[in-house]
Structure 1
Amino acid sequence: MSILDRILLFLLSIASLCLGVALALVGANVFGPDVQAYVEMSPVNVVAIVAGVIIVLIALRFLFYRVGRTPTTDYIALTGDHGQIRISFETLRQLANRRGNQVRGAQEFDTRIRQGQEGVVILVRMQVLPDIDIASTSREVQTVVKEYVEQHSGITVEQVFVHVTELSPHKQGKAWSGA
């Protein structure tokens, strides 16, 4: 959400809060006799109170929209000899992509990194070349990506999920050269 959107949402929340309080007060006959006489001419007291309370609740929800949310981290923090080391998920994604693209038969390799309980979880999406064993290629991708990321980052990889999306429409010389 951009700064302008946040400012507009804040102003809308304040205006809604004021309008809701005013409606609730009018409905409860808190204002002077002139307003009370006007309100008594039309039977909207209960409707005004209910509408005012609903608007106040909605305004409060938007006003405190960000309160209570924990910020998401997009890095893994390690403790080094001289302080904290932060390795971003983007770095881990690039490591996984670098090694995954080297696997024979894998094409259009892309990864996502998620925080796990004891480390990270790597989600791999790839296409495979025709005429290869998809199961063995997927297992190889799981093994080599896990080992490569753990070796080069020092971060524990809990799981590597591989999703083979489709067969690659063209061969680019990475397919098996044997029979």
Structure 2
Amino acid sequence: MSVLDRILLFLLAVASLCLGVALALIGANVFGPAYVFDVETYPTNIVAIVAGIIIVLIALRFLFYRISRSSPVSDFVALTGEHGHIRISYDTFRQLANRRGAQIKGAEGFDTRIRQGQEGIVVLARMQALPDVDIAAMSREVQSSIKDYVEKATGVTVEQVLVHVTELSNASKQGKAWNGA
């Protein structure tokens, strides 16, 4: 959820909270007939009070939406071994992916994040590319290399490797890029 969506959700929740409280107070005739039109019918008062309470509860739920959500349930992948359970942390996957990604020619400033997928893990790779490198070919090489390396090292299925090339690396550094040919 983006920052704008969170702000809009917060504003909507506050407005709904005010509306719900006002509706419940009007239904209970707290304001009196001098301030609001006089609603004398008994069922209408009950409906207004109940509707106001429901709106308040929904508004409170959305107001405290992010607070009630805890951090990710697990930051590891659990496997079953011959002699018990095996846990491999996301940091281990991240280190393996970073190690392999840093070895790719043309890739600089390599960093990854790991997410849980449907049937395995998803690797999010963020990197800079050296100038005069075929970025599409290098990105495909990063994807296949990281996928094969992590799967071989851990036995965990890598569903996707998403590559995000952020920018060109500083051209003054002569690194792993091809010189000439």
TM-score (norm 2): 0.64
CA distance in 2, matches of 1:45, 1:59: 29
Provide closer, same or farther for how the CA distance between residues 61 and 94 of structure 1 changes in structure 2, counting only shifts above 3 A.
Answer: same
CA distance in 2, matches of 1:145, 1:43: 68
Q: Is the 8 A contact 2:108 2:130 kept in 1?
A: yes
Q: Is the 8 A contact 2:26 2:36 kept in 1?
A: no
Per-residue deviation, 1:132: 2.1
Matched residue, 2:136: 135
CA distance in 1, matches of 2:165, 2:180: 23
Per-residue deviation, 1:149: 0.8
Partner amino acid, structure 1, of 2:56: I
CA distance in 1, matches of 2:129, 2:84: 42
Matched residue, 1:152: 153
2:118 pairs with 1:117 = yes
Matched residue, 1:84: 85
Provide closer, same or farther for how the CA distance between residues 76 and 167 of structure 1 changes in structure 2, counting only shifts above 3 A.
Answer: same
Matched residue, 1:176: 178
Secondary structure of the 1:148 match is helix
- Higher Cα Rg, which structure: 1
Partner amino acid, structure 2, of 1:112: R
Stretch moving more, 57-66 or 85-94: 57-66
1:11-26 matches, within 5 Å, as 24=24
TM-score (norm 1): 0.65
Matched residue, 2:6: none
Q: Is the 8 A contact 1:101 1:107 kept in 2?
A: yes
Report percent identity of matched pairs. 58
CA distance in 1, matches of 2:81, 2:160: 24
Which consecutive unaligned segments of at least 5 residues does structure 1 have? 1-15, 30-34
Matched residue, 1:103: 104
CA distance in 1, matches of 2:72, 2:63: 18
CA distance in 2, matches of 1:153, 1:60: 41
CA distance in 1, matches of 2:81, 2:106: 38
CA distance in 2, matches of 1:57, 1:105: 52
Matched residue, 1:166: 167
RMSD: 3.6
Partner amino acid, structure 2, of 1:151: K
Per-residue deviation, 1:106: 0.5
Matched residue, 1:11: none
Which consecutive unaligned segments of at least 5 residues does structure 2 have? 1-16, 40-44
